[in-house]
Amino acid sequence: MMVDMDQKQILEWYILAGVEETAADEPFAKISADPVPHIAMPVRKTQEPVLTRQATTALSQATQNACQNAREQCKNIKTLSELKTLVENFDGCALKLTATTTVFGDGAEDARIVFIGEAPGADEDRMGKPFVGRSGQLLDKMLSAAGLERSSCYITNILPWRPPGNRTPTDGEIAVCLPFLKRQIELINPDYIFIMGGSAANALLDVQDSISRLRGHWLEYQIEDGKKIPVLASFHPAYLLRNPGQKAKAWVDFLRLKQKMAENENN
C-alpha cells in the first residue's frame, strides 16, 4: 500500500519524528502506509468489542439521571450552535464547576473528518478552543504534514470541560458528556473519524482496549440513523510528545487515513 506524498511533507514528518540523518539516496520518494507485510486490514466493528466497558448501571443514580437528561436534551438539537449553547448551559457534570470555559468542538461544520481527543488541558480551558496547547501544536504539524487543512476538519473532545489538574476523567464524567460528542458527530455526519488516545477510543467505541491494540485497524462507529462511519484510532499527541519514538506509527495511521480518502475519491 504506497501513498504518493509531497516530499516536503514527508521530510517535515521525519524531522518531527526526530530523524536527523538517512542512509538511502532517495529516502523520501514514497512511504508505505502499511509496513506490516499483510494487506487486509481487519475491520473490527464496535458491536464486537474486545472487552466491553462497564455497564452504565454501575454508575450512581445521579450520574445515570444526568446521562439520561443529556441524551434527552440532545434529541431536540438541530444545529451545532444550538448544541454548543446546550452544553454551555448544562449543569449535570461537576467538571463545569472547576473549568474556566466550556471547550466545544471547533472547525468546519461540513468536515469530512472529525478528530477526537480526551479533554481540554490548561491552554484549551483558558482559550475555549480544543487542541491549542502543546498537543494542539503537534496535531497541527501532523495535519499539515499529511496535507490536511485544520480549518477543513472538525476537532473536538470526549469532555468539554477540563478535569482539574488534567486528571483522568471518571467513567461517570465520560458517560454524562458522551451524548454531546455523539450529537456533534451526527450533526456533522463525517466520512471518517480519527480518535486520538485510548481513553477517547474506549469511550466512543464502547470497548476496553489499549490504544496499541486498537490503532492500525479500520474500525466502525454507528450513528443513530444506522450509518457506519469508518474510524481510525491512534496515539494521543500528548503521548507522542512524551514518546517521540512512536511518531512513526502515528504517521502510518495518518497515511492510512489519507489512503482511504484517496481511494474513496477515486471511486
Q: Among 30-38, 70-78, 117-125, 185-193, which window interacts with ligand URA (CB under 6 A)?
A: 117-125
- For ligand URA, the closer of residues 5 and 132 by Cβ is 132
CA distance 88 to 79: 14
* 173 binds ligand URA per the rule CB under 6 A: no
CA distance 124 to 162: 8
- For ligand URA, the closer of residues 10 and 200 by Cβ is 200
C-alpha cell at 185: 458527530
CA distance 133 to 123: 5
CA distance 17 to 27: 15
- For ligand URA, the closer of residues 74 and 200 by Cβ is 200
* 198 binds ligand URA per the rule CB under 6 A: no
* 184 binds ligand URA per the rule CB under 6 A: no
Burial of 178 (0-12, 13-18, 19+ CB in 10 A): buried
Which residue do the cell numbers 437528561 mark? 69
* 119 binds ligand URA per the rule CB under 6 A: yes
Q: Residue 200 CB, nearest distance to ligand URA (Å)?
A: 7
Q: Measured at CB, which residue is nearest to ligand URA?
A: 117
Binding site for ligand URA (CB under 6 A): 117-121, 124, 130-131, 133, 135-136, 157, 238
